[in-house]
Amino acid sequence: MVRYENQCVGCPPEMGCLGNSCRYRNVPIWVCDDCGEEDVDLYEYEGREICKDCLLEAVPKIHYE
């Protein structure tokens, strides 16, 4: 999933705040739907966006004998 964070850097007063048009106001952060950890590489699996570790746990491993 994507959540948005305000990562304001505190622009100098002479520059002024750009408000909602500032690129640091609503920064997208991609988060795994299962574990909640931030990750830029997410995979869609059964309607969820999950990280590689959670994907490997969710998909059954095949054992050949």
Contact between 44 and 33 (Cβ < 8 Å): no
pLDDT of residue 23: 92
pLDDT of residue 63: 82
Q: Which residue has 């969820």 as its token pair?
A: 48
Each residue's pLDDT, cut to its tens digit, for the chain (65 residues) gives 999 999 999 988 898 888 888 999 999 999 999 999 999 899 999 999 999 999 999 998 888 87
How many CB atoms are closer than 10 A to CB 7? 12
Q: What's the predicted TM-score (pTM) here?
A: 0.71
User: CA–CA separation, 1 vs 32, rounded Å?
Assistant: 6
Domain limits, the chain: 2-58
Q: Which residue has 């920064």 as its token pair?
A: 27
Q: At 24, list the tokens.
A: 């640091």
